[in-house]
Amino acid sequence: MSTTLTDSPHQRPKQIVELTEAAVRLAGDSGDGMQLVGTQLTNTSAVFGNDISTFPDFPAEIRAPAGTPAGVSGFQIHFSSRDIRTPGDKVDALIAMNPAALKVNISDVEKGGIVIINEDAFSKTDLAKAGYANNPLEDGSLDRFRVYRVPLAKLTADALKETGLGAKAVERCKNFFALGIVYWMYDRPMDVTLNWINDKFSNKPDLAAANVKALKSGYFFGETAEIFSISYRVAPAKITPGHYRKITGNEATAIGLVAAARSINKTLFFGTYPITPASDILHQLSKYKNYDVRTFQAEDEIAAVTSAVGASFAGAIGVTASAGPGIALKTETLGLAVMTELPLVIVDVQRGGPSTGLPTKTEQSDLWQAVLGRNGDAPIPVLAASTPGDCFYMAHEAVRIAIRYMTPVILLTDGYLANGAEPWKIPDLKTLPTITVSHPTQPNDPKGYMPYKRDERLARPWAVPGTPGLEHRIGGLEKADVTGNVSYEAENHHHMTMTRMKKVLGIANDLPKLTVEGPEKGDLLVISWGGTFGAVSMSAQHVRDKGHSVAHCHLRYMFPFQKELGTIIRNYRKVLVPELNTGQLRQLLRAEYLVDCIGMNKIQGKPFLISELEEKMLSILSNK
Amino acid sequence: MSQANTVPLNLTAKDFASDQDVRWCPGCGDYSILAQVKNIMPSLSVPREKYVFVSGIGCSSRFPYYMNTYGFHSIHGRAPGIATGIAAANPELQIWIATGDGDGLSIGGNHLLHAMRRNINARILLFNNRIYGLTKGQYSPTSELGKKTKSSPYGTIDNPLSPISVALGAECTFVARTVDVDVKHLRTVLERAAKHQGTGFIEIYQNCNVFNDGAFEYASDKDVKLDHILYLEHGKPMVFGKNREKGIRLNNGNPEVVMLGNGISEDDLLFHDENAAEPTVAFMLSRMRHPEFPEPMGVFRVSKQPTFEDRLMAQLKAAIAKQGPGKIEDLFDDGETWVVE
């Protein structure tokens, strides 16, 4: 950290401290627009060239009682001049729009961290709603932080006095005033947000002007008010050269599906039913009509998946998406897709369960549901994305496997990946794995078209309705080998069940090689999967930096596992499996490889902190 | 599997028979329905490969296996969902759904409603036998109140649904009723449904001779049926009876059975208008139940409206006309992008 004095573009020279990274959390009522300004700070930092990682955290209720802890909505963004992979363990600066936001978030703020408080919202009633007996601004409980009391509502009202807007509209602009202060404090350029405001409110010039005014007033307040002595600068990160954008997991999933479908000139049919946190995939895809994306908001989760199966039968790429409870409803149809051996992609954006659980919080507890949760022996390949941007590649990969093996494929993402954002290097389409598809036009046998006559990968042919001479019937009853006619024969059922399993297990021959970060043999192997990649890889690196023999192996293929895993797992004295569930991967690994694994399990609706992972690794290593 | 024959220009009913043995119970009403569906296929000038038969679970749902067309025997109640996906993926196909009172109105009731309100271009044959056949004799959502069955030894305590009322309530654009053994009528109704653009719903009174024999005898027995059913004919007065001596008249907004003669002529009767803008009268007809009333047979309602697929494809076409065919690179560049040197 270095301290410099520079010339401000404005009147007053200011003291600027260079930081390598900062984690800022904006918190307020659900109606305060925190997600919106959080997204603006994200976009600005990404375009500025920082590495970023975000964590939006909002309640399940649309408008919980105002001012209560239940209604607090927060958005954390971590921006850095070097590689980062998590939203940050601790918060360097908290912006609290009311006492409830302060109460819910203060424990995450670093000692000595900045706390900017909207003091207009600290009346006796406000404090009571938040459950404060004493005013934290006066009782000394915030002494270990650098607290800045700012009358945000009043300052916003003063700034917008001339606009002629009503009190309510003015009040709504205070989030941009707060954002303005953050922009000043972290030396962020305002142009990305100014452009966004003007674009968003192009039909409402008075609102555009008011929000611009609020943002700039906040910025100038930071600069001219005597209360902030220092501002900070986080330089752009040195990241791989290329063309970048910011992307969330749900956006990446959506365009990964479209990219896969377009690469083979296929209709993408997306049948779904709205559910948190998967709905944004529908919102995104419903805009892409000119890409031949046909979205269907079904009457329920079952119709969502059955329509996708129907679309696949008719020759489109059928896709459905949901969260855990919705996947449960689709389960019977997944068995049908296994039996009829049709390509289908099922995206499960995991959230806290069971039942309705924690709809807006993240968890990794649908792994068993995805791998095991069906009647009968019904193997379905399961993939898991590791970062928001990786959702693109895994969605593309899911389509590839579904078509190549004529099988449903489940893609697991989670709430943390779905809503979290990172800078994403726009891929070169030519470097993506090739997807090939072929539909027979001639009978594949002298006796006629045989829908269950398989290729060398055991995949059956995909003859599409409308093709003359290939008329055939499929369904959920057991199929006779080759002909596909209904068969109740004992030997045939055994053969078909084993064949379906063999086909899916054979996918392991067709997967990228699994590697580890760190030593190839050693004391500890940490195996993670899905959205915990960032925190686990960073913490393992830190522990290696301290001289320990720790390797990290991250899984994106959950069923079947990559072929190398069995060998890798035996090269280390101990195995640690951190998961945001009670130990679902650990159990699968034990069953598959007969090795002991130590679990680290967190079921709080929150991602892992780097520090807690490090601590666990170090404690295991000290017990050797 | 399919027969490896080329498609002849002039198809016959036989061309639509698959090589699979039909396994319904001897004497089942399903045989007649299967025969008539196969009979009308050649006259529709639709190539055989364009037909898709979709079904759920139940006796009626074995239907696709017996048709030498594309077919999908899916899971219980879900045929409308499967069909919606097929229709959306390829609007050129001619889709038929075979379902029953249990499959369509019980476990799949939700899907049936929504397929009809969306007006997907599919013909839905609801085989109504007022009983669960494949599970061997439990009551169904159309079983009459108090009916004693294997699962209701003291009689059912839930009210039955009227399939026609449900279809009309769900905004279905073609709603009709017929009887399995009334071959000529069945055939006419099937043909009209086949030519309808949109959801064509047909309730077929179908006899389950094993678990609910004679449930519709009043409507199918040649000796008595003319007194118990009313053939609906567009633009014609509602006359019925063995000697066409009875009719349906409106009295204070309610239907009543009247004898013709004694000052009552056909002009006093209700005239059937299947194209009425509102399904109000059609709904009233759907409430006429045996034995108080003759039960109407034929087309209750036809409404010309764009299909689900029409509207879907129109949106795609408009988007392409306005924005051009989408390029993946444009999706990548959505929002702010920047270059790292």
Please tell me the predicted confidence (pLDDT) of residue A62: 80
Tell me which of A391, A471, A474, A481 to substitute to probe the interface with B (most B C-beta atoms closer than 10 Å).
A471
- Mean pLDDT computed over A253-260: 98
In 3D space, the residue among B41, B15, B96, B104 whose CA is nearest the CA of residue B63 turns out to be B96
- Mean pLDDT computed over B280-284: 97
Please tell me the predicted confidence (pLDDT) of residue B5: 43
Q: What is the 3-state secondary structure (H, E, C) of A576-590?
A: EEEECCCCHHHHHHH
pLDDT tens readout for residues B126-138: 999 999 999 999 9
CB spacing of B1 vs A485 below 8 angstroms: yes
Residue A9 scores a pLDDT above 60: no
**A245-431: what CATH class?**
alpha beta
Tell me which of B82, B117, B334 to substitute to probe the interface with A (most A C-beta atoms closer than 10 Å).
B82
Q: Which residue in the block uniquely carries the two structure tokens 């300052």?
A: A155
Q: Let me know if residue B187 belongs to a domain.
A: yes
Please tell me the predicted confidence (pLDDT) of residue B336: 79
Distance, in Å, from the CA atom of A513 to the CA atom of A562, rounded to the nearest integer, reads: 7
- Mean pLDDT computed over B86-114: 98
Q: Is the pTM of this model over 0.95?
A: no
Residue A292's region, left for phi above 0, alpha for psi from -120 to 50, else beta, is: left
Distance, in Å, from the CA atom of A265 to the CA atom of B246, rounded to the nearest integer, reads: 62
3-state class of B251 per DSSP?
strand
Residue A3 scores a pLDDT above 50: no
- Mean pLDDT computed over B190-204: 98
Q: Let me know if residue B182 belongs to a domain.
A: yes
Residue partners of A381: CB distance under 8 A and separation at least 6: A401, A405, A407, A409, A410, A504, A507, A557, A559, A560
Count the domains in chain B: 1
Q: Which helix (H) or strand (E) holds A170?
A: helix A167-171
In A34-73, the residues whose Cβ lies within 8 Å of chain B are: 43, 46-47, 49
ipTM: 0.96
If pLDDT is split at 50, 70 and 90, which confidence band does B1 have?
A: very low
Q: Which of these ranges, A80-84, A238-242, A389-393, B107-111, has the smallest mean pLDDT?
A: A238-242
CB spacing of B1 vs A312 below 8 angstroms: no
Please tell me the predicted confidence (pLDDT) of residue B335: 78
Residue partners of A522: CB distance under 8 A and separation at least 6: A549, A550, A551, A571, A572, A573
Distance, in Å, from the CA atom of B47 to the CA atom of B44, rounded to the nearest integer, reads: 9
Residue A13 scores a pLDDT above 60: no
Residue A178 scores a pLDDT above 80: yes
Residue B318 scores a pLDDT above 90: yes
| A522-622 CATH, one of 3.90.1150.10, 3.40.710.10, 3.40.50.970, 3.40.50.920 | 3.40.50.920
pLDDT tens readout for residues A303-324: 999 999 999 999 999 999 999 9
Q: What is the DSSP letter of A119?
A: G
In A430-449, the residues whose Cβ lies within 8 Å of chain B are: 443, 445-449
Domain with CATH 3.40.50.970 in chain A: 245-431
Please tell me the predicted confidence (pLDDT) of residue A30: 87
pLDDT tens readout for residues B213-240: 999 999 999 999 999 999 999 999 999 9
Question: How many cross-chain Cβ pairs, A to B, lie less than 8 Å apart?
Answer: 245
Q: Which of these ranges, A63-77, A575-589, B159-173, has the smallest mean pLDDT?
A: A63-77
pLDDT tens readout for residues A432-484: 999 999 999 999 999 999 999 999 999 999 999 999 999 999 999 999 999 99
B79-89 helix and A301-313 helix, angle to the nearest 10 degrees: 50
A2-234 CATH fold? Pyruvate-ferredoxin Oxidoreductase; domain 3 (3.40.920)
Q: Let me know if residue B252 belongs to a domain.
A: no
Q: Let me know if residue B323 belongs to a domain.
A: no
Are B56 and B79 in contact by the 8 Å Cβ rule? The answer is yes
Alpha helix stretches (DSSP H) within A530-602? 533-545, 565-569, 584-593
Structural domain span for residue B96: 13-215+306-316
Residue A268 scores a pLDDT above 90: yes
Instruction: Retrieve residue A32's tokens.
Output: 């305060």
pLDDT tens readout for residues A189-240: 999 999 999 999 999 999 999 999 999 999 999 988 878 888 899 999 988 8
Residue A7 scores a pLDDT above 50: no
3-state class of A431 per DSSP?
helix
pLDDT tens readout for residues A99-134: 999 999 999 999 999 999 999 999 999 999 999 999
Residue A2 scores a pLDDT above 70: no
Residue A412: count other Cβ atoms within 10 Å of its Cβ: 27
- Assign residue B111 the CATH number of its domain: 3.40.50.970
Q: Does A512 touch chain B (CB under 8 A)?
A: no
Which chain B residues are Cβ-neighbours of A447 within 8 angstroms? 1, 4
In A311-370, the residues whose Cβ lies within 8 Å of chain B are: 311-316, 318, 332-333, 335-336, 340
CB spacing of B329 vs A429 below 8 angstroms: yes
If pLDDT is split at 50, 70 and 90, which confidence band does B8 have?
A: very low
Average pLDDT value for chain A: 95
3-state class of B141 per DSSP?
coil
Distance, in Å, from the CA atom of A364 to the CA atom of A85, rounded to the nearest integer, reads: 18
Residue A4 scores a pLDDT above 70: no
In 3D space, the residue among A351, A336, A494, A330 whose CA is nearest the CA of residue A416 turns out to be A351
Q: Which contacts (CB < 8 Å, 24+ apart) does range A588-595 have?
A: A588/A367, A588/A371, A588/A558, A589/A527, A592/A561, A592/A566, A593/A565, A593/A566, A593/A569, A595/A569, A595/A570
Domain with CATH 3.40.920.10 in chain A: 2-234
Tell me which of B86, B121, B329 to substitute to probe the interface with A (most A C-beta atoms closer than 10 Å).
B86
Q: How far is CA A493 from CA A352, A473, A487, B119, in A?
A: 38, 18, 8, 39
Q: What is the 3-state secondary structure (H, E, C) of A517-530?
A: ECCCCEEEEEEEEH
